[in-house]
Amino acid sequence: MKERLARLKAVRRLIKTCRIESQETLLGHLEKEGFTVTQATLSRDLKLLRVGKISDGDGAYVYSLPGGDETRETEQTHINDFLRGYISIDWAGNLVVIKTCSGHSDAVALAVDNLNLDEVMGTISGRDNTVFVALREGVSGEDFLARLKESIPELED
C-alpha cells in the first residue's frame, strides 16, 4: 500500500509539474522515478484521482487534476455515504466488521476504500448489510477506529 500511496503522490506531482498528454508519457515519467506500473493500474490510479484532460489552447489535451474544492466535495460525499449507511463497527484480530443499513454495504465499503487509509488492505462488501475490512499486519481494530475518526470526526462510538 505504501508503494501505491507513493505512486499516487508521484502521479499528482507529475501532472502538476509536467506536460502529460498520454498515459504512455506518464508511465515513462513514473519508470524514471523507479515505479513499475502497468497501464491498467495507472488507468485505475487516474480514475481514483479523478484526473481529466483539458485543452492546452494549442489543439492538444493534457492531464489535469480536479480543483481542491472538487476533491473536498468528493471526499465529503464518501464521508456522508459512510455516515448514512453504517450501524456499528466491531473487530477481531485484523478483521473489522462494519454492519450497515440494508442496501448500504457497497457505499460504505467504497467510502472506506476512497478514504485511502494506510491501515486498510482492502474491503469486501457483503451482499446487503455487512462490510469486511482487512487491516494491515500489526494494525488493531482500535487503531483503525481511531484513524477512521480522524477522517470522519462526526463518527459516533
Q: What local confidence, expressed as pLDDT, does residue 82 receive?
A: 93
pLDDT at 111 over 70: yes
Tell me which residue has cell 450501524. Answer: 87
For residue 150, what pLDDT band results from cuts at 50, 70 and 90? confident
Q: What local confidence, expressed as pLDDT, does residue 101 receive?
A: 94
Alpha-carbon distance 2 to 121, whole Å?
10
Neighbours of 147 (CB within 10 A): 17
**Which pTM does this prediction carry?**
0.57
For residue 75, what pLDDT band results from cuts at 50, 70 and 90? confident
Which element (helix H / strand E) includes 147? Answer: helix 141-151
Alpha-carbon distance 80 to 63, whole Å?
29
For residue 47, what pLDDT band results from cuts at 50, 70 and 90? confident
Using the Cα atoms of residue 1, residue 118, residue 29 and residue 69 in order, give the sign of their dihedral: positive
Q: What local confidence, expressed as pLDDT, does residue 155 receive?
A: 86
Task: For 12-37, write each residue's pLDDT tens digit.
Answer: 899 988 889 999 999 999 999 999 99
